[in-house]
Each structure stands twice: as structure tokens, then as C-alpha cells.
Amino acid sequence: MGEKNNMKPKVIVLRASGTNCNLETEKAFDYVGGKVDSVHINELVKGIRKLSDYDIIALPGGFSFGDDISAGKIFALRIKSLKKDFDEFVKKKKPIIGICNGFQVLIKTGFLPYHPDLKQKATLYLNDIGRFVCKWVRVKINKESPCIFTRGINSEFYLPIAHGEGKFVADEKVLKEITDKKLDALTYMDNPNGSYEDIAGITNEYGNVFGLMPHPERAFFSYLSPSKSSNKTGIGYYFFKNAVDYVK
């Protein structure tokens, strides 16, 4: 994005009542060189903060607004009221990442898979197992994907999941569009929830918007992972560093 600079990219970590992974997400972006603000969605709605002041948006995990209607739905409605601001952010190819509940929010806003009128084209449904699942799973990077967050990351590795509604569901036409355009940036090797096409995360055509159910912030340091590694940083580190490096 333009000429390289030494300024710290400004990151807005958007939260709501029930968000509970914002601190880990903030620390991850701070560690890789971002200047992070934790912002409640109401501050954007009321105009106290402006998206245009930021370079990166992060929607962290949790249970926003208690997931009372369905996971991420109320948060998504708040974001859709700011459609113009979010649309501009996307079109400027600034990075947006939605993790777990954040992915559910991006799906229910219509930003993933993208629809110009922000109509929902897919959903994240109840796991086939019928209950909440919390464990480490094997995932695989699609090397042909345009996703900026997954660039240069090893093809196969482990990430933790923690969700009750993680099954990616879409009709055949939408699924074909995703796979044909290589937007299925991250897939499960051992599908834990019944996701169609083993989808664990998808991106948009620009590659700057990325949603995933696994939690890279929980695999940020190698000692957090079940995989043995002599490196201090874990695989999750690179998801955040890629976004900051992209902005720089």
C-alpha cells in the first residue's frame, strides 16, 4: 500500500458487549508493531471515533451481545449501519480480520462473501456435533489465495478453535465462486464442525478482508502450541505481522 514508512499502522480492535478475545488481539497487533486502540462499536455509531483514522480493523472473538439471536448477528447490524465507512475501508484495500465471532460478524454483514448491497450469502451454523468445540485442529493454507494475512505461512499447521456455530454453509453457486477464485484461504484437514468444502476461513477478491474460525492470537507464541518448535513466535504471529507489514 504505497511507499514504505516507519510509522506504526493504526489498528482499531472493535468490541461489543460479550467480546472476550479483544485483549489478546490487541496484544498481538501491538507486538508486531501496530498502534492499537480498543473501541466499542457504539463509539463509531455515535461518531466519537472514525474508521478513516485507522489502517487495520480487527473484529475479535467472543459472544458479542450474547449471540442472543444468532452468533454475531446484532454486532453485524450495528456495522451495517456504518456501511459507507466500512465500504470505503474495504475499497481502499485496508486489512480487516474477523476471528471466530468476528468471522461470524463479517459473514452476517455481507462483507464475506462480499455482496455490494451487503446481503448475506453464507452463514456459520451449529457444529455437526451439536455442541461447543474447543480444541486444536489441523488446517491448511491455500497458497493460491489472494489473502494478505496468510502470505508466506507454512502450508499445514495447528490452530485452536473454540466455537459452537462454526459450520460454514453456502449454496453451490456461492461455494463454486469461493473455490474457483481461490478465496478459501484456510481449510480444515480434519473438519471439526462439518463446514462445506472444509472451509475454516475465507477472503475477498482483494485479499484484504479475512475471516476465520480458528484463533491465531491463541497460537501467537510457540509455547502455546502442541507442536514442538524452537522459535519463540508461533504460527499465529505471522497472521498479524503480515497485516502490519502490508500497511507499511
- Catalytic (active-site) positions: 100, 215, 217
Number of residues that this document lists for the chain: 248
Q: Residue 26 carries which side chain, given as an amino acid letter?
A: E
3-state SS, one letter per residue, for 22-80: HHHHHHHHHHCCCEEEEEEHHHHHCCCCCHHHCCEEEECCECHHHHCCCCCHHHHHHHH
Q: What's the grid cell of residue 248?
A: 507499511
Show Cβ contacts of residue 142 under 8 Å, excluding neighbours closer than 6 positions: 150, 182, 184, 185, 186, 187
With CA atoms as reference, report the closest residue to 224 among 24, 35, 66.
24
